[in-house]
Amino acid sequence: MNLSFEALGLSEALVRAVTELGYTTPTPIQQQAIPAVLSGGDLLAGAQTGTGKTAGFVLPILQRLATQNAPAGKSRRPVRVLILTPTRELAAQVGESVRDYGKHSKVNAAIIYGGVSINPQISALKRGADIVVATPGRLLDHVGQRTVDLSQVEVLVLDEADRMLDMGFLPDMKRVFALLPRTRQTLLFSATFSDEIRTLAASLLKNPAMVQVAARNSTVDATTQKVVLVDRGRKSELLAHMIKSNNWFQLLIFTRTKHGANRLAEFLNKHGVTALAIHGNKSQGARTRALTEFKSGELQALVATDIAARGLDIEQLPHVINFDLPHVPEDYVHRIGRTGRAGATGEAISLVCADDKPLLTDIERVIRRQVPREIIAGFEPNPNERAEPIVRQRGQGKTERGQRDRPQRSSARRPSQGQPRKNGSAQPARPQSSKPNGQPVRNVDAYAKPKHAKPASQTRRPADSASTVRTNIPGLLQPSHRRGR
Ligand code: AMP
């Protein structure tokens, strides 16, 4: 049954605000979460980004603030709602949603995250904030400076809780929980339900209502996924070719490292694709600028690391490219959640070389499906290319350097990847070859050994396989991109 926003019990001011944003029908997570949150109880919600989960908790919270007075306490205008997010971008985005949805309600919000001056945040808190949206590290900085008082919080929201744990925030989160009243409403949103999330939920939530809108670890159905097989040294060149021949715009590209993001953005710019890198070494100002240019369409491609991309809300992003596969399979789910959002369809393409095969196997295990393979004509992978170990750089898959709101991961549970492979024969995949315009032409077995191939251990990688490549793009030079830079 599809209820309208009014029928879900939301006030006229909130219905007006969402109508002005063009929302006509509540999304499935909103249908379930809004009544559950309005009832005042705890909630455990399984919802990926792109499902409309933010409105699922922000709207009923705004309703609560409007209809219930703050219990008498020491502050005149206390912080009544605390929303914790793993990243600055998500905090900014949730803060924006609070402002959008609350534009006809009398509510003050403060957005608190690191990497920017603390003073405007102190001023916002001094003016009185009913809602604080924060990353844990900077919030604790404010606690240390006594610029925020959390003793009257009525509602705690953990947004993307799985990601917060994954980023090692648990100790900081526990310090924050210790500052909150015991009696409160707690809402926990997570895209995936690991054992750690279940343990956290068991310790925080009392008789929670449970809602789930996507199967555990499933990828967004509206997204078409495919793997394009390619040699390690030709990924950049292939990507530039695909972007140009398909005339793609608004492309979000994921790399495993910050350095890799910089190099790829540079490569794309040199080859006529406007691109900027966004990662933890960039200032908040540079990140915001890149995002604004990307959203406005000035920028064709945004090259991002996982952490930087987390929380980016770009509506109807048509293409997500995994230039490198992530070490953590769940990151794949988060990455492709950037496309196919809010009813739109999207395409997630992973460029996979021999080294990536173990990561692909892990991802396919988690998403419980095989992603179709393709080969682009002119970029056929060398079946004898030997897999090389993927060198994990310090902090990779965990945090980005120098960010107070991104502590070191404490108890990472990672699949055993990045190990040197014993031989180079990645498992045979059954890819579809495609014409340069992306049309599949035949089935091939890209990594299947040729009949008389030497065992991988005896096969030397052609000396020039990463330095001399064929190209069918006029003027396109050999990419210097190599793994593990
Ligand atoms: P979220 O999962 O909260 O990040 O939301 C994803 C996107 O869906 C955002 O761009 C929202 O503006 C949009 N959205 C949220 N709720 C609705 C709705 N009921 N109808 C249409 N779009 C929505």
pLDDT digits (tens, 9 = 90+) for 161-202: 998 998 889 999 999 999 999 999 999 999 888 888 999 999
Answer yes or no: is pLDDT of 441 > 80. Answer: no
- CB 479 less than 6 A from any atom of ligand 1: no
Q: d(Cα 364, Cα 369) in Å, to the nearest integer?
A: 5
Higher local confidence (pLDDT), 206 or 214: 206
**Residue among 419, 425, 459 nearest 445 (CA):** 425
- Match 């555990």 to its residue by tokens: 216
Tell whether pTM > 0.75. no
Domain 12-212: CATH superfamily is P-loop containing nucleotide triphosphate hydrolases (3.40.50.300)
Q: What is the DSSP letter of 340?
A: S
Average pLDDT over the chain reads 78
Q: Hunting for tokens 């003793």 — which residue is that?
A: 151
Give the model confidence (pLDDT) of 359-404 as tens digits. Answer: 999 888 877 788 999 999 999 998 877 777 766 544 444 433 334 3
> What is residue 337's predicted lDDT score, i.e. its pLDDT?
73
Distance separating alpha carbons of residues 60 and 196, to the nearest angstrom: 27
What pLDDT score was predicted for residue 317? 76
Distances (CA, A) of 319 to 223, 338, 345, 346: 9, 8, 9, 6
Stretch 244-250: mean pLDDT: 88
Residue 49's alpha-carbon distances to 11, 54, 90, 148, 446, in angstroms, are 25, 8, 10, 29, 34
* 37-89 confidence digits (pLDDT tens): 999 999 999 987 778 899 999 999 999 999 988 877 777 789 999 999 998 88
Mean pLDDT (whole number) for 141-169: 94
CA distance 423 to 429: 16
The Å distance, Cα 338 to ligand 1 centre, comes to 12
243 and 299 in contact (C-beta within 8 Å)?
A: no
Report pLDDT for 60.
98
User: 453-485 as b/e, with b when 16 or more CB fall inside 10 Å?
Assistant: eeebeebebeeebbeebebebeebebbebebee
pLDDT band (50, 70, 90) for residue 344? low
Query: Could you tell me which residue, 407 or 318, shows the higher pLDDT?
Result: 318
For a ligand 1 pocket test, name from 90, 96, 313, 314 the mutation site with the most ligand atoms within 8 angstroms of its C-beta. Answer: 313
Ligand 1 centroid distance, CA of 312 (Å): 13
Tokens, residue 390? 């993927």
| Chain segment 201-211, per-residue pLDDT in tens | 999 999 999 99
Query: Under a CB-based contact definition with an 8 Å cutoff, are residues 226 and 372 in contact?
Result: yes
- Going from the Cα of 222 to the center of ligand 1, the distance in angstroms, rounded, reads 14
Query: Does the pLDDT value for residue 482 go beyond 90?
Result: no
Which tokens is 415 given?
Answer: 């699949």
Domain 223-374 is found in CATH 3.40.50.300: yes
Q: Within the chain, which residue ranges are assigned CATH 3.40.50.300?
A: 12-212, 223-374
- 64: number of Cβ within 10 Å: 17
